[in-house]
Amino acid sequence: MEPLNVEHAGRTLRGVLHLPHPHPSPAPAVVLCHGLGGNRIGWGNDFVLLSRLLAAQGIACYRFDFAAFGESDGDPLDFSVSDQVSQLKAVLAQLERNRAVAPDRISVLGFSMGALVAVLAAGDRRLRSLALWAPAGGPLNLPFWESFRDEIREHGRADYNGIEFGDAFIDDLRGIDQFAAARRHEGPVLLAGGTEDGLMRDELIDPYREAWGDRLEQHWIEGMGHGFGSLANRDRMFEAALAFLSRTV
């Protein structure tokens, strides 16, 4: 594990690169994208553990903090999904220049908002494969996020479960079309989540099924919500991701 920061729009995005030891040179790689309010450690240390498991399988793994989260620079009021997409593309470009990484063998795994960001990035540039854990709904959830407008007008910011954001996030959602981006991605996809997760309901998932057809693998965990909820569920999600990425990266 070694520090690897990325400069983007005057901000430092802080991250770490896990390399297999010994590792093929160059090695295939996976980038991990955390969800809203998360960071490169992951809830329950899950991104750290997953990175180590990938490295043990000969796959390099890069995990980083999006701007304004974790230890990366940035103002939470500037946060938007489109800006995170731009950050991810900067990360991917830097990894492609890294001599330890095979530039044509890079995949992305994202959770929730990070999964939405991964889909949008894949619509703009080639990725080997996508692993999506419960992708956020984007503009389909706009009515919920619009409910924070009054709070922003009164206080200059919104507070969602202790996560700060402003108008930039809500305004940006209007222009997002994750399903158009999904149709431009030509590689295999894993879609994994829980049967009790509202982000895995049919109206949010069916357009992905239509876009990816037989390139889509689905993995459902009975009774699981948006978070793992238990170590057993976490391990099942890890197993699905590792099996998929070892075949497709």
**Residue 93: its pLDDT value, please?**
97
Residue 64 lies in a domain: yes
Residue 189 lies in a domain: yes
Q: CA–CA separation, 97 vs 17, rounded Å?
A: 14
pLDDT digits (tens, 9 = 90+) for 175-189: 999 999 999 999 999
Q: CA–CA separation, 188 vs 126, rounded Å?
A: 12
CB 106 within 8 A of CB 31: yes
Residue 162 lies in a domain: no
pLDDT digits (tens, 9 = 90+) for 128-138: 999 999 999 99
Residue 199 lies in a domain: yes
pLDDT digits (tens, 9 = 90+) for 109-149: 999 999 999 999 999 999 999 999 999 999 999 999 999 99
Backbone angles phi, psi at 242, to 5 degrees: -65, -40
Q: Of the ranges 18-27, 71-80, 170-179, which one carries the lowest mean pLDDT score?
A: 18-27
Residue 160 lies in a domain: no
**Residue 74: its pLDDT value, please?**
97
Give the mean pLDDT of 56-62.
96
Expressed as residue numbers, the domain containing 197 is 2-138+178-248
Q: Mean pLDDT of all residues in the chain?
A: 96
Number of structural domains the chain divides into = 1
Q: What is the pTM of this model?
A: 0.96
Residues in the chain, total: 249
| CA 166 and chain centroid, separation | 21
Residue 71 lies in a domain: yes
Instruction: List Cβ neighbours of 147 (8 Å cut-off, separation of 6 or more).
Output: none
Residue 143 lies in a domain: no
CB 169 within 8 A of CB 116: no
CATH of residue 134's domain is 3.40.50.1820
Q: CA–CA separation, 108 vs 96, rounded Å?
A: 13
Q: Which two structure tokens, joined as six digits, stand for 37?
A: 């309010």
Residue 170 lies in a domain: no
Helix pair 46-56, 231-248: axis angle to 10 deg? 40
pLDDT digits (tens, 9 = 90+) for 9-46: 999 999 999 999 876 689 999 999 999 999 999 988 99
